[in-house]
Amino acid sequence: MPTPPLPIELTELIISFVRHAQMSPKQRNEFLSSASRVNSTWTELLARNVCIDSEASLESFFRRINHSSSSSPHVPVVTVERPISFGNLSLVKLFGRMATDPRLRAGQKPTKAVDYGRCCRSITFEIDTSIGGPQCRRLDAGQWQSTEVYQTFPMSALLDCALEHIDVHSDLLPNLRRLCIEYLDSPAPIWSNIFDDVFRRNLFALTPQIEHLEIRYPRAARAVRESLAGRRQKAFNWVAKDIRRLTLIGATKGVILDLKRVCPNVRVWVLNGVTVR
């Protein structure tokens, strides 16, 4: 007797739970790659909300939307050889017989090809704040003397490249409406770099179709937030006039005030879960 499919609402809850569970990026990526092989419903739901946490995941995403835009769409085959488990959660518990079906282990394709580009509604970039890149110098306009030295995050630089690529090839992602930038927690965060980072990005390259910007910061101690509440930006690299909805989690007062300047046309603000119109 064939296994009945899970309701879409339950599938969405499982995907959301996995993406926010305490696990390593490798474990999460292995799980989501395996889940995309269950059936086309899982594949489409995963394609709606894409999560980018490394250069490899970004390359995979661009490769898929390029394939789906061709005249002969092709979904890469991912073979499930064994149940993947982490902690108290496992594919077997979530999917039961579906995850260990021999047809899936043999690399069977979904029943229909998925247009990844058209399915995509949202992209989340996870910024690892524990890994620092080279030091950069910010210059005042018209001056050659550096006024500030700061350290970049490798994933932030990758975000800049991705946004420029998406802007040039926006026709491959016609339904993309939301961009989320999530700064991950780290053992010894440099809070000034974390809260300033979004203003150093190339968000001027945001394609006009993106109307919802979400920024998530790690939970900072009250003393840290109070000490940085008055920190403001002296200059801005970008202005996003097409953003209509702005969601902020863990932002300081200074970050909120600065975002009001670079996103002047926001109609709906969501601050730590509270909606303000």
| Segment 76-121, tens digit of pLDDT | 333 333 333 333 334 334 333 333 444 434 444 444 556 888 889 9
User: What average pLDDT does this structure show over 50-61?
Assistant: 86
Distances (CA, A) of 90 to 28, 38, 83: 11, 14, 7
Q: Which pair of structure tokens corresponds to residue 149?
A: 């030295």
Say if residue 145's pLDDT is above 60.
no
Chain CA centroid to CA 214, Å: 10
pTM, to two decimals: 0.73
Which of the four pLDDT bands, split at 50, 70 and 90, describes residue 183?
very high
pLDDT computed for residue 202 by the predictor: 84
Cβ(73)–Cβ(115) under 8 Å?
A: yes
> pLDDT value at position 102?
44
Residue 87 in contact with residue 23, Cβ under 8 Å? yes
**Residue 40 pLDDT:** 72
Structure tokens that stand for 255 in this block: 């970050």
**Residue keyed to tokens 């000034």:** 192
User: How much is the average pLDDT of 204-222?
Assistant: 91
**Residue showing tokens 């909606």:** 275
In the predicted model, is pLDDT for residue 241 greater than 60?
yes
Look at residue 9 and tell me whether its pLDDT is greater than 90. no
Q: How confident is the model at residue 122 (pLDDT cuts 50, 70, 90)?
A: very high
